[in-house]
Amino acid sequence: MSSKEKRYRILVVDDEENIRKSLKMILEYEGYVFFEAGDGLTAREVLEDHPEIDLMLLDIRLPDIDGLALLSEIKKKSYSPEVIMISGHGTIPMAVEATKLGAFDFLEKPLHRERILLSVRNALEAKRLKSTVQDIKKRSEKKYQIIGQHPLMTELWQKVLKIAPTNATVLIQGESGTGKELVARAIHANSPRANENFVQVNCAAIPEELIESELFGHEKGAFTGASERKLGKFELADGGTILLDEIGDMSLKTQSKVLRVLEEGEVQRVGSSKIIKVDVRVIAATNKDIKKEIEAGRFREDLFFRLNVVPINVPPLRERKEDIPLLIDYFCEVYSEENNFRRKKFSPEALEIMMKYPWKGNVRELKNLVERLIILTNKQVIEPEDLPEYLFQEKELLLPDMRKTKSLKEFRDEAEKNFILFKLKSHNWNVSKTAREIETPRSNLYKKLEQYGINIKVGAGEAVASSFDEKEEEESPNSRGPDGR
């Protein structure tokens, strides 16, 4: 075992001291960390003190407890190690029972070195694979997490939890980038179908001539290029959930076939006369106004009624701006971790600017910007000067929220502060240039910066601004002598 590899920890539980000694010699020689116990009580204590133990070799007969009972108890723990049962009185029913309770293997005494090591290696590999799968699942769950504490999101989440345990068809509507896929995944993850497939189909991305084959599959030779049989998405989702994303872009012909799946639970591959039964929960999503599509003759009304059993509307980000700091914090954590960066964050001033931006691309636009800033910004704290120009060019950025300002002075001060921030950003945080642009003395602008708590950071704005200021003062005509030198 390489010194760089993990040293797996193995606990041997057997009341025969000679067996424990023999196994200790074998396992330590192979590089494993060895623990031992002569009874069930000691085994419990060792596990409690060392929950990181990876594998147990457990005798089926112990002086204080039955080995199978201890196995059952261990498998209920959150830190459950793999278990290999060992016995000098093994029977087939006993081995079957041990397997049902979660034992990886069942070894009979006398124990043979090669048989032990083979079983140990296989059990530890199974343990490693399980840990890998769990890590992937955790990362996946984190990636598809719904973030938000706004009342609109609380209401949406309560609706998700209410409908998830049912088989009801769901129609999710909302603007592009609001997180319709996340809602669909949350419904699936909280349903009895959670351990089955979740299959997503983007109806807008598949060419019209291929969408039927994609959804329902095809037989070999069904059309030019069909060199082999292909299972459709509905068959792949059998027992699980299918998300028909952008269903508003689906052709009328395909809509009729989807309606048949919903009503009869049947699909028919292209080029086949065979009817295939499927058990699939259907979730549809669209950013289009389906009622207008029906009026225009582009969407079947009967399919709409069949899909719209439980309607869900995902609110745009501009209607829940209070969630923007939560989303930014979440994306900072995710992308800092993904790129092995130290955790980055946004300053209060930067957050304020981002909260005022309308986010026409919703959460997707916000997510992409945060990821870009995490990767490209070298500082730990992202400031207003690090934000892209377009965030400052929206009209509503320069004007305060009139619903929140109580007096004319408060409105004027907030508008002046936003105006100064915008002009500073436009001039790369150079105070002298900004003062000339807005036609005010530089000393007066510094007073305004102090009044509104605007800090031009060293290393970003101030260092550059200072050098510019000094250079400008040196080269200014007013700083030269009468002879122009």
In a domain, 342, yes or no: yes
112 in a structural domain: yes
Q: In this structure, what CATH number is given to the domain that contains residue 409? A: 1.10.8.60
Question: If you search the block for the tokens 């305060």, which residue do you land on?
Answer: 400
Q: Based on the structure, what is the number of domains in the chain? A: 3
Q: What is the pLDDT of residues 461-478, one digit of tens each?
A: 333 333 333 333 433 434
Of 286, 315, 344, the domain-final residue: 315
User: CA 24 to CA 19: how far, in whole Å?
Assistant: 8
Task: Say yes or no: 342 and 459 in one domain.
Answer: yes
Q: Which domain holds residue 160?
A: 151-315
Instruction: Give pLDDT, residue 474.
Output: 36
185 in a structural domain:
yes
- Domain identity same for 432 and 347: yes
User: Are 196 and 307 found together in one domain?
Assistant: yes
- Asked whether residue 481 is domain-assigned, the answer is no
| pLDDT score of 220 | 86
Q: What is the pLDDT of residue 193?
A: 94
Q: Which amino acid, one-letter code, is at 273?
A: S
Ordered strands of the 281-286 beta sheet: 198-202, 241-245, 281-286, 170-173, 310-313
Say what the pTM is: 0.61
Check whether residue 134 and residue 155 sit in a common domain. Answer: no
Q: Are residues 134 and 171 in the same domain?
A: no
CATH of the domain at 136: 3.40.50.2300
Same domain, 45 and 185: no
Residues 310 and 290 in one domain: yes
Low-confidence residues in the chain, pLDDT < 50: 1-4, 395-397, 458-485
Same domain? 454 vs 403:
yes
1 domain residue, yes or no: no
- 110: number of Cβ within 10 Å: 8
- Residue 110, domain member (yes or no): yes
User: How far apart (Å, rounded) are the C-alpha atoms in residues 155 and 398?
Assistant: 32
Backbone angles phi, psi at 203, to 5 degrees: -65, -25
Same domain, 98 and 136: yes
Condensed to tens digits (0 to 9), the pLDDT of residues 336-359 reads 888 888 899 999 989 988 998 889
CATH of the domain at 297: 3.40.50.300
The residue ranges of DSSP E strands in 329-466, in sequence order, are 345-346, 381-382
With tokens 């769990």, the residue in question is 134
User: Could you tell me if 125 and 155 lie in one domain?
Assistant: no
Instruction: Report the distance separating Cα 66 and Cα 296, nearest Å.
Output: 72
Helix, strand or coil, per DSSP, at residue 254: helix
pLDDT attached to residue 393? 59
